[in-house]
Chain A
């Protein structure tokens, strides 16, 4: 093929995107690391270079451990459920039955709706004298402080994340299920294999890469959770539902402790970059032609 474009043409085409990515991704990336070595807590106008002191402060702060614990607890509750339950739903929907489109629309609806509205809707379900506590007291238990008790707050927020994610991962699984050869299912049916056996021996092995993909992307989005917490609990009570991103937000924009917040952000960067790296180089190679 002859080269029909001038020497600088490729760069001109890349330029606008490059400007945006440099200003709003790469510079902030390095600036986050840079800021984490400064102390802003005494004066926001005269930061003092303090080396690794913010990281030391972080490691000495009990809130840091609480926040890390909460975030990973979030991840360990949400990820297994989001990796398995949507697959189960997808298998059920992926049959020759009526109403498939309607089911898909209804189950996908939470994905589309603003997270703020979803969080408000759940806040209402979780109200002290709300409908959920009606069911709880009706079953003979004491009412639960869904969002007001340190024991329950995090779990109550995780439920919103799970509820909002099911439809999204279901669609990913449905796409993967289309690629499973139908002959294998027919062979199972002739052998009289049970529902469970059929899917354990045929479906699961075939879509293992997709299960791995869903695991990593749901783990990455669990690390980034913010809006649910902001709308429902503000991290409380007693930090019981405070996660990494909320903590960064609070430190940076409410306490104006930019250096400390940046150190926390670097921790988040490292964790998410490890997850993303695994995701891209193990499960999404084809998507990016690597």
Chain B
């Protein structure tokens, strides 16, 4: 009996070692491209970045690539632009999704089914397939940066100001509130508007937080739309600015690497602070659509 126990324990130990080895290997694969980029960004001009065998630890360590790219590229500007676009997109998504989700969850009205299925239909329409008319409409509405910067920002935000994902998420949240809450508020003399803003919205805060975080990440990383509409470099968001590094420093990989790493720091901090929202598994299926 004792022997069987020992064998079983040994087996568990080996299993654990195998599990950890595989997970460490996959983790390394996940971060290696960044490590190699960081390594390159810290190598000075005295070191051949194409040297064989490659070295991970810089031999000629320097911060010069970071200061160099920082002085030539307006990262603060890109960052502020990204913040304006992502911030505006988040605020509009919160307001519009909550406002649309509420009647879909709680009210009876003619055309409710039509409204519901219209929202559902937008999930099936990929932005990539309709981007050309979206661009033509944005031009027609003068929401481009060649008019002025504010129009440019509005044009970057508006096509993503509300999403079916957000509307359904908020609808689900309102469905979870007991009806007595509404009755009590109305009896106390609230009108619908006050009921919505002062009673119901505070009760769906967790869903609003989830929506805010995932909308922010999506908007922050958006590349296709800004690269279509933007014409002025001073309006570039971070992804467009980073892509532009390739053209600016054609084969200066030290600068390109340093710039790419710099541009990643804000979202990395955001992710580490909010990690439980991403990896807990409670909000699966939220980013891609």
Q: Which of B30, B112, B128, B256 contacts A109 (CB 8 A)?
A: B30
With CB as the reference atom, state the residue of chain B lying closest to A218.
B288
Chain B residue nearest to A93 in the complex (CB):
B23
Report how far A156 CA is from B132 CA in the complex, Å. 28
Is B150 on the interface with A (CB-CB < 8 A)?
no
- Do the beta carbons of B34 and A113 come within 8 Å of each other? yes
Q: How far is the CB of B216 from chain A (nearest CB, A)?
A: 11
Interface presence of A277 (CB below 8 A) = yes
* Chain A residues, Cβ within 8 Å of B133: 27-29, 31-32, 35
Q: Which residues of A contact B97 (CB under 8 A)?
A: 17
Q: Please, which residue of chain A has its CB at the minimum distance from the CB of B186?
A: A4
Q: Which residues of A contact B240 (CB under 8 A)?
A: 116
| Number of B residues with CB within 8 Å of any CB on chain A | 97
* Nearest chain A residue, comparing its CB with the CB of B27: A106
Q: Which residues of B contact A17 (CB under 8 A)?
A: 96-97, 99-100, 119, 162, 167
Query: Per a CB cutoff under 8 Å, which of B23, B130, B192, B281 touches A171?
Result: B281
* Contact A20–B161 (Cβ < 8 Å): yes
Interface residue from A89, A97, A114, A287 paired with B223 (Cβ < 8 Å): A114
CB pair B31 A280 closer than 8 Å: no
- Alpha-carbon gap, A156 to B158, bound state (A): 34
Q: Which of B62-70, B203-211, B263-271 contacts A (4 or more CB under 8 A)?
A: B263-271
Interface residues on A, range: 35 or more
B122, B128, B242: the one within 8 Å of A25 (CB): B122
- Whether A269 contacts B279 in the complex (CB less than 8 A), given A114-B242, A171-B284, comes out as no
- Within the assembled complex, what's the spacing in Å between the Cα atoms of A175 and B277? 13
Residues of chain A within 8 A (CB-CB) of B264 are 113-114, 117
Q: CA A266 – CA B29 in complex, angstroms?
A: 38
**A265 with B132: CB separation less than 8 A:** yes
Docked complex: B1-57 residues within 8 A CB-CB of A: 15-16, 19-20, 22-23, 26-27, 29-31, 33-34, 36-37, 40, 50, 52-54
Contact in complex: A245, B128 (CB < 8 Å): yes
> Which residue in B95, B228, B287 is a CB contact (below 8 Å) of A111?
B287
Interface string of A74-98 (1 = CB under 8 A from B): 0000000000000001001101010
Which residues from chain B contact A120 at a C-beta distance below 8 Å?
A: 37, 242-243, 245-246, 256-257, 260
- Does A202 count as interface, using CB distance less than 8 angstroms? no
B243–A124 contact, CB under 8 A?
no
* B251-289 to A contact mask, C-beta < 8 Å, 1/0: 001001100100110011001100100110110110110
The answer to whether A20 touches B162 (Cβ under 8 A) is yes
**A-chain residues with CB within 8 Å of residue B119 when the two chains form the complex:** 17, 21
Q: Which residues of B contact A220 (CB under 8 A)?
A: 126
Question: Quick one: given A120-B246, A248-B129, A277-B124, are A16 and B95 in contact (CB under 8 Å)?
Answer: yes
> Given that A24-B158, A134-B54 are known contacts, is A92 also in contact with B22, CB under 8 Å in the complex?
yes
Instruction: Find residues 1-34 in chain A having any chain B CB closer than 8 Å to their own CB.
Output: 1-7, 9-11, 13-14, 16-18, 20-21, 23-29, 31-32
Partner of A29, one of B34, B95, B125, B128: B125
Contact of A131 with B243 at beta-carbon distance under 8 Å, contacts A171-B284, A175-B282, A265-B129 already known:
no
Query: A157 within 8 Å of B by Cβ?
Result: no
Q: Which of B16, B33, B285 has a CB less than 8 Å from the CB of A118?
A: B33
> Taking beta carbons and an 8 Å cutoff, which residues of A are in contact with B?
1-7, 9-11, 13-14, 16-18, 20-21, 23-29, 31-32, 35, 89, 92-93, 95, 97, 99, 101-118, 120-122, 124-125, 127, 129-131, 134, 137-138, 163, 166-168, 171-172, 174-175, 178, 195, 213, 217, 220-221, 223-224, 226-227, 230-231, 245, 248-249, 252-253, 258, 261-262, 265-266, 268-269, 272-273, 276-277, 280, 287-288
| A to B CB contacts below 8 Å, 19 in the list | A17-B99, A17-B162, A20-B159, A20-B162, A29-B125, A31-B136, A101-B279, A110-B33, A112-B278, A117-B263, A121-B260, A124-B256, A163-B33, A171-B278, A171-B279, A171-B281, A175-B281, A248-B132, A258-B132
